[in-house]
Amino acid sequence: MASKPKIGITMGDPNGIGPEVIVKALTCSELQGLCQPVVFGSEEVLEEAKKIVGMSSVFDFVKVGDFDRARLRPGKPDKKAGEASLSCIREAVRFALEKKIDAVVTAPITKESIHLAGAKYPGHTEMLQELTGAKRVAMMFEGGRFRVVLVTIHCALSEVPRLINQEKILATIELTHESLINLFGEREPKIVVCGLNPHAGEAGAFGNEEILHIAPAIMKAREKGIDVSGPMPADTLFYYAAQGRWDAVIAMYHDQGLIPFKMLSFDEGVNVTLGLPIIRTSPDHGTAYDIAWKGKANPSSMIAAIKVAVSLVKNKKAGQSTN
């Protein structure tokens, strides 16, 4: 019998709900049969989380840093918590690059805490790109109903028209196409691209980004044999996406893609980083400081993130064995 995938799970911000959702998720009997979880972080903090939720999950552990329960400040950004978050990610990535684990699942971090700790990353994605040396990355959200990939990630809405261009959109289409085949096992993936403006610009009446950047990128992708359509108005596109018409939707900016996605898949949504030399998933929610360390956090998205990580590991290995 093949060994179960070894999935590394980072503690996330210890002052958030990460420790709680990890403990709750790892009591799930289905996960115990699917993988070997390895948690990176503070054993004291995870033991404290077990007490809070009244559960006693058992898992392998990699001690990282010196953060202990005395340093906990539930629901508050903190430099030490930021340092602990960053250390866990770095160590888990190192293990993944060295093939000691098969995938990384990251619990939520908060930008304020990691910035207090001296890091300037807007989020996990940018940090993972730097740590792994990946040339291009993209955020995909997997939720069962449809998948969304973002062209721009963490930036002000006013900056989006300046940041999107033909090259960036084409690279996102190509990366999405490759990932759907190599990670998700889609043999003939179908992709659709959102317009930026209302009615996808309506032939230039409401903006020319579709004419100048988006449509030419789609045309070049088609010339390379990619089955991609658009640009389509986002207000109607997601209605059909929810019915399974395409394997992935490419959105121009964060909220364009994530408002419809989270409306339908809030509890089970999973963030997948495309383009890394390692597999990385995470829950699609944040640290939820308002309910941190109160035993109220829902582990569904963490469970889903671990399941997706296992599935991607298996798909990747299956693809490698047929090449």
Mean pLDDT of 236-248: 95
State the pLDDT at residue 207.
Answer: 84
Three-state DSSP at 20 gives helix
Q: Radius of gyration over alpha carbons of the chain, in Å?
A: 20
Give the whole-angstrom CA distance, residue 228 versus residue 249: 10
Q: What are phi and psi of 22, to 5 degrees?
A: -65, -50
Contact by Cβ (8 Å): 37, 31: yes
Q: What is the pLDDT of residues 129-175, one digit of tens each?
A: 999 999 999 999 998 789 999 999 888 999 999 999 999 999 999 99
Q: What is the pLDDT of residues 23-58, one digit of tens each?
A: 999 998 888 889 999 999 999 999 999 998 888 777
**Quick one: pLDDT band at residue 239, thresholds 50, 70, 90?**
very high
**Quick one: pLDDT band at residue 268, thresholds 50, 70, 90?**
confident
> What ranges make up the beta strands (E) of the chain?
6-10, 36-41, 60-63, 103-106, 138-142, 147-150, 190-194, 227-232, 248-251, 270-274, 280-283
C-beta pairs of 257-266 under 8 Å, 24+ apart in sequence: 257/141, 257/148, 257/149, 257/150, 257/194, 258/141, 258/148, 258/150, 258/284, 260/148, 261/141, 261/143, 261/146, 261/148, 264/143, 264/145, 264/146, 265/141, 265/143, 265/144, 265/145
Does residue 319 have a pLDDT over 80? no
- Residue partners of 201: CB distance under 8 A and separation at least 6: 195, 207, 208, 209, 210, 211, 231
Which domains are seen in the chain, by residue range?
A: 1-134+278-323 (3.40.718.10), 137-275 (3.40.718.10)
Does residue 15 have a pLDDT over 50? yes
- Cα 250 off chain centre by: 15
- Residue partners of 300: CB distance under 8 A and separation at least 6: 267, 268
Mean pLDDT of 207-234: 96
Does residue 1 have a pLDDT over 60? no
State the pLDDT at residue 321.
Answer: 60
Please state, in angstroms and as integers, the Cα–Cα distance from residue 152 to each residue in 160, 180, 238, following that order: 7, 19, 18
**DSSP code of 18?**
H
State the pLDDT at residue 200.
Answer: 84
State the pLDDT at residue 322.
Answer: 60
Please state, in angstroms and as integers, the Cα–Cα distance from residue 284 to each residue in 106, 109, 246, 262, following that order: 10, 11, 21, 8
Does residue 230 have a pLDDT over 60? yes
